Structure 1
Amino acid sequence: MFNIIEANLATPAHAAALVELLNHYAMDAMGGGEPLSDQVKNTLAAELHKRPTARVVLAFDGEIPAGLIICFEGFSTFACKPLLNLHDVVVHQSYRGKGLFRLMLQQVESIAQELGCCKLTMEVLEGNHVALVAYKANGFAGYDLVAGMGQAVFWQKKLF
C-alpha cells in the first residue's frame, strides 16, 4: 500500500525524497541521462519551498520514496482560471507498472480542484512511449485550438 501525500519541503524526509527521486529521473534516458548537479541537489527543496505556486506530491512505500510529481500553478487566459502544470513526473524504476502514477494523479487532481483549476497540463517527450500510454489512459491528450492549425507544441529558449 502506497502513502500519497502533498509534500512539505521544510520537512527533511520530504526534501530528501524529492531530491532522491528527481535525481533518479535525471539519470534515466528520459531525464537526460545525467545526475543532478550538487548545487541542484543541495538547494532544490529550499528553492521550491519558496515558490507559493509550486506543489509537490510524493508517494512512499513505507519509508521508501517511490514516486513524485512536481506541479506549478499557471493561468489559462482563455478560461480566466488557474491551471496546474505537471512539470516533473517520476515513478522509481522499482515501482513502474503498479498504478502509482494514477494514485499520484488523483492527489494532483484534488489539489487542482481545491485551487479551482480548469485543467491540468504537461509536456512529455514523444519518444517516451510508456509514459504516453499512461498519460492517455488517464485522460491527457494533445490539443489544438482551431481545426487545421495543428496541435500545440512546447518549445524552449535557454537563457544560460
Structure 2
Amino acid sequence: MQAPEVLVLQASYSNPVHAEAIGFLINQYAEDAMGGGESLSPDTREQLAVELAKRPHAFSVLAFISGEPVGLVNCFEGFSTFACRPLVNIHDVVVIASARGLGISQKMLAKVEEIARQRGCCKLTLEVLEGNAVAQNAYRKMGFSDYQLDPQMGKALFWQKGL
C-alpha cells in the first residue's frame, strides 16, 4: 500500500482554511494526554490564528492529507545573545492520532528548519515531556538533543511561572 501524499506548507493566518485548521489541530493537541487532556474554549480555537497574526515573529507550518488537516507546528522567533542571531522556538508540534507513524512531524520540522535557515537563524529550540518517548525519538531523528553548556553544570531545565 502506498503512503498518502502529505502537503506541508507555511500557514497563512488570514486564510480561513488555515485558520480553522490551526484551531482544530491545537485543540486536538490539548485534548491529548500530552497536551493536558482538556478541550480548549471555542473562543481560543476561533481566535488563535488572529492572535498569532498579531505577532510578527510567529509562524506556523501545517500538514494536510487529502485536504484534511493532520499536523501543525507553531513557532516563534527569538534571539540568541551568544550568537547574536535569531533563533526559532518550536512551541507546539501536533500530529492527529490517525496520522501518526507517517513521518509527518519530520516533514513539518524540515519545513520549519528551511524557514529558519531563510531567516538566518542560528538554531531551533523546543521542549518535550520526559514521558513522551515517541516525540523524543522523532526529534532525535531530526538532530535535536538536550541542551547543556557545560556537562558539569548539567542539562537545561524548562520552568514556568503562571501569571
Which 5+ residue runs of structure 1 have no aligned equivalent?
A: none
- Match of 1:48, SS state, is helix
Deviation at 1:88, TM superposition (A): 0.1
Question: TM-score, structure 2 length as denominator?
Answer: 0.95
Measured on the aligned residues, the alpha-carbon RMSD in Å equals 0.7
Cα distance in 2, alignment partners of residues 93 and 123 from structure 1? 20
Deviation at 1:13, TM superposition (A): 0.2
2:62 to 34, 38, 58: 58
Deviation at 1:87, TM superposition (A): 0.1
Give the aligned residue type for 2:66.
Answer: G
1:120 to 100, 117, 124: 124
Please list the CA deviations of residues 128-156 of structure 1 after superposition, one character each: whole Å capped at 9, or x if unmatched: 11111111111110011112000001100
Match of 1:77 in 2: 81
Deviation at 1:39, TM superposition (A): 2.4
Match of 1:145 in 2: 149
- Match of 1:34, SS state, is coil
Question: Structure 1: which 4+ aligned runs deviate by more than 4 Å?
Answer: none
Which 5+ residue runs of structure 2 have no aligned equivalent?
A: none
Please list the CA deviations of residues 10-44 of structure 1 after superposition, one character each: whole Å capped at 9, or x if unmatched: 01000000011110010000000001112211211
Q: Is 2:48 aligned against 1:44?
A: yes
Cα distance in 1, alignment partners of residues 53 and 86 from structure 2? 20
What is the count of residue pairs matched by the alignment? 159
- Match of 1:87, SS state, is strand
Cα distance in 2, alignment partners of residues 2 and 133 from structure 1? 21
Cα distance in 2, alignment partners of residues 42 and 103 from structure 1? 26
Match of 2:35 in 1: 31
Cα distance in 2, alignment partners of residues 102 and 118 from structure 1? 19
Paired-residue identity, %: 56
- Match of 2:154, SS state, is coil
Deviation at 1:3, TM superposition (A): 0.7
Cα distance in 1, alignment partners of residues 86 and 137 from structure 2? 26
Q: Is 2:124 aligned against 1:108?
A: no
Question: TM-score, structure 1 length as denominator?
Answer: 0.97
Match of 2:95 in 1: 91
Deviation at 1:45, TM superposition (A): 1.0
Q: Is 2:30 aligned against 1:4?
A: no
